[in-house]
């Protein structure tokens, strides 16, 4: 098969064929990280050059768009025409993006198609994309408006009385948590499923009255567990 980018492939082959296990300095944090033989085989398989950022900085870049991983709340002026009130949002006032309150965003009072723009081939793509992205209204918290008592939550669905929680799904009375699914009466939890009355636990499933538990399933009235089942 004839290559469509022979100069690029030639340059990439020169880089990949000359690679051997070594240490590199991250361009972002200046910390050293290793390039192992397994990494080189993976790079050759994907046909990409070696990374210039360390694994942690690459992870930060990948997660950069997932702003609801950790709830950080701001007061921002609602951008709905005729509105001037401050609303709770995960975009700061200094952020140039427009934010609509969740109720208005879900309504038929505005037409998203009206924000469409013609592409200008004489200007750089990403410059236009940034302007386009900042001009389109965003939800204030990407929150389900059917949820009750969840003003300080980000994303989620059909939850009740949750505070400082990210992505609660059918959760109730959960405080300070992330990804509580079908969870009730819990505090300081992360990635919980079908659990109740738990505290300071991570990655638990079908647990009850359990504290300081990690990666455990079907545990009742337990504490300080790791990788446990039916305790």
pLDDT values of the chain reduced to their tens digit, one per residue, 231 residues: 456 778 888 888 899 998 999 999 999 999 999 999 999 999 999 999 999 999 999 988 887 666 556 778 899 999 999 988 999 998 889 999 999 988 899 889 999 899 998 999 999 999 999 999 989 999 888 888 889 999 899 888 999 999 999 999 999 999 999 999 999 999 999 999 999 999 999 999 999 999 999 999 999 999 999 999 999
For domain 6-65, give the fold.
CBS domain Like (3.90.1280)
pLDDT at site 68? 58
Using CA atoms, how far apart are residues 88 and 71, in angstroms rounded to an integer? 11
HSE-up (13 A, CA, CB side) for residue 182? 8
* DSSP letters for 39-53: HHHHHHHHT-PPPSS
Q: What are phi and psi of 60, to 5 degrees?
A: -60, -40
Inter-residue contact 49 to 12 (CB < 8 Å):
yes
pLDDT at site 6? 81
Q: What is the pTM of this model?
A: 0.69
| Residues 220-223: contacts with CB under 8 Å, at least 24 apart | none
DSSP state of 200: E
**What ranges do the domains of the chain cover?**
6-65, 74-139, 157-226
Q: Where do runs of H (alpha helix) occur along the chain?
A: 6-17, 37-46, 55-62, 102-105, 125-135
Report the 10 Å Cβ neighbour count for 5: 9
Vertex 72: Cα angle to 66 and 76 (nearest 5): 105
Using CA atoms, how far apart are residues 221 and 156, in angstroms rounded to an integer? 28
Report the 10 Å Cβ neighbour count for 222: 19
Helix axes 37-46, 6-17, angle to 10 degrees: 170
């Amino acid at each position: 098969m004839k290559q469509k980018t022979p100069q690029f492939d030639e340059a990439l082959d020169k880089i990949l064929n000359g690679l051997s296990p070594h240490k590199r300095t991250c361009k972002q944090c200046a910390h050293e990280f290793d390039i192992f033989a397994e990494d080189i085989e993976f790079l050759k398989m994907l046909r990409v050059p070696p990374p210039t950022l360390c694994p942690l900085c690459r992870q930060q870049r990948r997660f950069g768009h997932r702003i609801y991983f950790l709830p950080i709340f701001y007061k921002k002026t609602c951008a709905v025409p005729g509105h001037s009130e401050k609303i709770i949002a995960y975009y700061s006032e200094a952020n140039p993006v427009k934010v609509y309150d969740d109720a208005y965003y879900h309504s038929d009072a505005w037409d998203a198609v009206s924000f469409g723009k013609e592409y200008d081939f004489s200007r750089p793509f990403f410059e236009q994309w940034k302007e386009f992205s900042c001009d389109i209204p965003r939800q204030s918290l990407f929150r389900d408006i059917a949820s009750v008592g969840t003003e300080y939550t980000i994303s989620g669905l059909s939850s009740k009385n949750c505070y400082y929680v990210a992505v609660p799904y059918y959760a109730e009375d959960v405080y300070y948590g992330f990804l509580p699914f079908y969870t009730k009466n819990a505090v300081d939890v992360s990635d919980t499923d079908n659990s109740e009355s738990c505290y300071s636990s991570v990655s638990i499933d079908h647990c009850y009255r359990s504290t300081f538990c990690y990666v455990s399933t079907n545990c009742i009235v337990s504490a300080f567990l790791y990788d446990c089942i039916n305790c």
